[in-house]
Amino acid sequence: MMSSENRSDFSASCSSISEEARAKINLALHVTGRRPDGYHLLDMLVTFADHGDRLDFMPSPTDEFTLSGRFGETLAGDGGTNLVLKARDLLREAIGPLAFPVRIQLEKNLPVASGIGGGSADAAATLRGLMRLWGTSLPEEALAALALKLGADVPMCLASRPLIARGIGEKIEPVPELPVLAMVLANPLKGVSTPEVFRRLATKNNPTLRLAPSLRGTADWLAAIGAARNDLEPPAREMVPEIAAIAAMLQAHGALLTRMSGSGATCFGIFATMAAAEDAAAALHDERSDWYFQATETVSGGA
């Protein structure tokens, strides 16, 4: 940890630090129960895409926060509710005087409130980036607790590697065997209310996620993912019919498997190769240039 006497010299000399906030993809999401406090219990198989938001951090005379990117304007009126600012303030409170003022630039490339963890990934990237900039760290348990204060998805996004998450998302185990997947992310740019999706969920005590311990290769994993579910997809499709339409479009362009991520409205289509995913994304964009289509690869579980 940096000594306080070195803080001013460091802040004056440190250059910009960048962090990627990768899109979080729920390959499976099983709603398995509900806690007495109202939180739903989930079993999730999660991976992360190479594509996402980008955050840049640098010392500044005063705290600043700026937005850019395709979806930056969507957050322009967010003010103090932005998870990036909440993450900065919580980490500063935990670290104390070492946390000098910073300028944070968020390049918002992911649709907002779209089921791929954009805000949570931004918050996690803020924690990682500011710990590097401020030259400090927190014990693992303290950092996990701080992340959970920001949201149930933030601990997962801190890891940004394939994992299984249970409980409300805080019980995490890595899945190093999950292979890289070529996919297209697709969103009709219509918002879905997460509380309303859960309210419409017909059954809240569904079977848990079970994966065979001997999955080998992409074909095995595709079969296992295909046998799993997203329990939030049926009510989300009732609310936003475009979800069904966009899933059908992905299938028509060669997706081996399609599913909605999180509470929607983003769907993903898994393709045989990255070239096939890129061709599909380009064709889909030509069909509906007002919607969001992005070809990407997921990160390796063993990296």
pTM for the structure as a whole:
0.91
Please state, in angstroms and rounded to a whole number, the distance separating the CA atoms of residues 289 and 195. Answer: 29
Arithmetic mean of pLDDT, 85-91: 97
Please state, in angstroms and rounded to a whole number, the distance separating the CA atoms of residues 145 and 16. Answer: 27
Average pLDDT, the chain: 92
* Nearest C-alpha neighbor of 104 from the set 77, 82, 120: 82
Please state, in angstroms and rounded to a whole number, the distance separating the CA atoms of residues 260 and 246. Answer: 10
Residues with a catalytic annotation lie at 24, 153
Collapsing DSSP to helix, strand or coil, 131 comes out as: helix
C-alpha separations of 193 from 123, 235, 241, 245, 276 in Å: 20, 11, 14, 19, 32
Instruction: Say what the pLDDT of residue 42 is.
Output: 97
12-21, 45-54, 274-283: least confidently modelled range: 12-21
Each residue's pLDDT tens digit, 148-192: 999 999 999 999 999 999 999 999 999 999 999 999 999 999 989
